[in-house]
């Protein structure tokens, strides 16, 4: 399976920006954006998007050769292209004030992060919420998450989560 690289992410992000489609980088690339460096290779690109932009996004993906390969529900879809790149879409619904009221229930303040991928500024998950999210997985995948949680906490002066401290004692 092919991996998606930072250049792919920047090209995708810029293309959507040019079409007026607003996304937030999530998952591993969000960590990379916050830290300003690639921490590992990625099999996919996770994005958050307002449900109101889904039709435009799906239309764009089709023109780029992507097809739906999995649907967990109407708010979480995965699209892939012929060379194996995957886009994992997490759609939320917001009210007129910008509060998340449905779909994938991102905490509203989690969509306030800014980071860089290959020198390009991108919207992403906030560092505090990324640490909180990753901490719940550190027991299962310590080698994958201990370094990035530590790096995010250090860079953004975030208190280490209890889950991180408990697992860190084992290593």
pLDDT 10s digits, 71-105: 999 999 999 999 999 999 999 999 999 999 999 99
Q: Tell me if 31 sits within 8 A of 148, measured CB to CB.
A: yes
Give, as one character, the DSSP assignment of residue 21. Answer: -
Q: Are residues 50 and 31 part of one domain?
A: yes
pLDDT band for 2, please (50, 70, 90 cuts).
low
How many domains is the chain built from? 2
The alpha carbons of the chain give a radius of gyration, in whole angstroms, of 16
Which element (helix H / strand E) includes 86? strand 86-94
Q: Is 1 within the bounds of a domain?
A: no
Give, as one character, the DSSP assignment of residue 131. Answer: H
- Give the separation between CA 74 and CA 69, rounded to whole angstroms: 13
- Give the separation between CA 17 and CA 37, rounded to whole angstroms: 22
Q: Are residues 116 and 73 part of one domain?
A: yes
- pLDDT score recorded for residue 163: 84
Q: Is the pTM of this model over 0.75?
A: yes
- The three-state secondary structure class of 123 is strand
Q: Are residues 132 and 119 part of one domain?
A: no
CA quadruple 53, 59, 60, 61: dihedral positive or negative? positive
Domain span at residue 16 reads 6-125
Q: Are residues 100 and 61 part of one domain?
A: yes
Q: Are residues 131 and 120 part of one domain?
A: no
Round the average pLDDT of the chain to a whole number and report it.
94
C-alpha closest to that of 58 among 79, 27, 88: 79
Q: Are residues 132 and 115 part of one domain?
A: no
- Give the separation between CA 93 and CA 82, rounded to whole angstroms: 30
Which element (helix H / strand E) includes 29? helix 27-35
Residue indicated by tokens 């906490």: 153
- pLDDT score recorded for residue 1: 47
């Amino acid at each position: 399976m092919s991996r998606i690289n930072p250049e792919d992410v920047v090209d995708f992000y810029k293309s959507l920006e040019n079409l007026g489609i607003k996304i937030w980088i999530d998952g591993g690339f969000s960590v990379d954006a916050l830290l300003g460096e690639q921490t590992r290779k990625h099999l996919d690109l996770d994005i958050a998007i307002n449900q109101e932009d889904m039709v435009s996004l799906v239309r764009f993906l089709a023109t780029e050769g992507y097809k739906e390969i999995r649907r967990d529900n109407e708010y979480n879809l995965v699209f892939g292209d012929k060379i194996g790149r995957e886009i994992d879409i997490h759609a939320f619904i917001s009210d007129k004030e910008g509060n998340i009221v449905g779909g994938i229930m991102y905490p509203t303040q989690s969509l306030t992060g800014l980071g860089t991928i290959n020198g390009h500024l991108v919207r992403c998950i906030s560092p505090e919420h990324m640490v909180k999210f990753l901490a719940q997985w550190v027991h299962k995948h310590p080698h994958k998450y201990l370094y990035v949680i530590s790096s995010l906490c250090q860079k953004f002066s975030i208190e280490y989560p209890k889950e991180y401290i408990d697992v860190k004692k084992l290593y």
